[in-house]
């Protein structure tokens, strides 16, 4: 089996400042937050922290942030599981997933957003994907990668292997054939699921 890596996602810092009024629970849906905010502890001192997944929890721990709540599903499920009257500070992508946006809009308590990174398409993504040519299976690790692949892969994209139910849902919505779905987090789990298929 030959493997080729074509980046479809590039995360870029926004440089935005935190909101002036903070309090309640900081909701963090991506480990990338720790990469872009190594001084996060100073900004959320005294706040409860809710994180999506063990990878995000580990990344936060590496910069000294303790996650009080760790969700095992997606961001939407994490937000919906918090107390409805709780004030929330969402820290993450400038364009979060549709599920996260919906949950934030439906939340009854005060919601503030701190967009610390943008999810952009690498400039060479289309050319790199075209250069690879036909493949048997494409591995996708995020909803944004699924959407980009569906737009760039041409009229007959290869079946996909995806990481998690949220990415699987995005891939199906984008019209892709999901052949493999790893429910366990991490690239090793996705690789194992592909080899088992």
Predicted local confidence at residue 98, as pLDDT: 82
User: What is the block-wise mean pLDDT of the chain (197 residues), using blocks of 10 residues?
Assistant: 85 92 87 94 91 91 95 85 92 89 92 94 91 90 91 90 88 94 84 89
Domains of the chain listed by start with CATH number: 10-119 (3.40.50.10090), 125-196 (no CATH)
Tell me how far apart the alpha carbons of residues 81 and 103 are, in angstroms, rounded to a whole number.
10
Torsion on CA atoms 196, 138, 177, 190, rounded to nearest 10? 40
Predicted local confidence at residue 48, as pLDDT: 94
Predicted local confidence at residue 1, as pLDDT: 67
Predicted local confidence at residue 53, as pLDDT: 85
Task: Indicate the pTM of the whole model.
Answer: 0.81
The 3-class SS string of the chain reads CCCCCCCCCEEEECCCCCCCCCCCEEEECCCHHHHHCCCHHHHCCCCEEEEEHHHHHHHHHHCCCCCCEEECCCHHHHHHCCCCCCCEEEEEECCCCHHHHHHHHHCCCCEEEEEEEEEECCCCHHHHHHHHCCCCEEEECCHHHHHHHHHHCCCCCCEEEEECHHHHHHHHHCCCCEEEEECCCCHHHHHHHHHHC
């Amino acid at each position: 089996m030959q493997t080729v890596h074509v980046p479809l996602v590039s995360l870029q810092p926004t440089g935005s400042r935190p909101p002036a009024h903070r309090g309640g629970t900081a909701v963090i849906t991506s480990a990338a937050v720790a990469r872009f905010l190594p001084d996060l502890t100073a900004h959320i001192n005294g706040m409860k922290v809710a994180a999506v997944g063990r990878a995000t929890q580990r990344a936060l721990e590496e910069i000294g942030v303790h996650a009080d709540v760790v969700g095992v599903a997606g961001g939407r499920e994490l937000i919906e599981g918090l107390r409805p009257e709780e004030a929330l500070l969402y820290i993450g992508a400038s364009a979060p997933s549709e599920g996260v946006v919906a949950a934030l809009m439906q939340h009854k308590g005060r919601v503030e957003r701190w967009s610390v990174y943008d999810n952009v398409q690498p400039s060479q993504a289309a050319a790199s994907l075209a250069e690879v040519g036909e493949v048997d299976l494409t591995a996708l690790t995020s909803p944004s990668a699924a959407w980009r692949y569906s737009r760039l892969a041409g009229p007959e994209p290869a079946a996909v292997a995806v990481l998690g139910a949220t990415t699987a849902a995005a891939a199906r919505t984008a019209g892709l054939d999901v052949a493999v779905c790893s429910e366990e987090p991490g690239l090793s789990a996705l690789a194992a699921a592909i080899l088992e298929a």
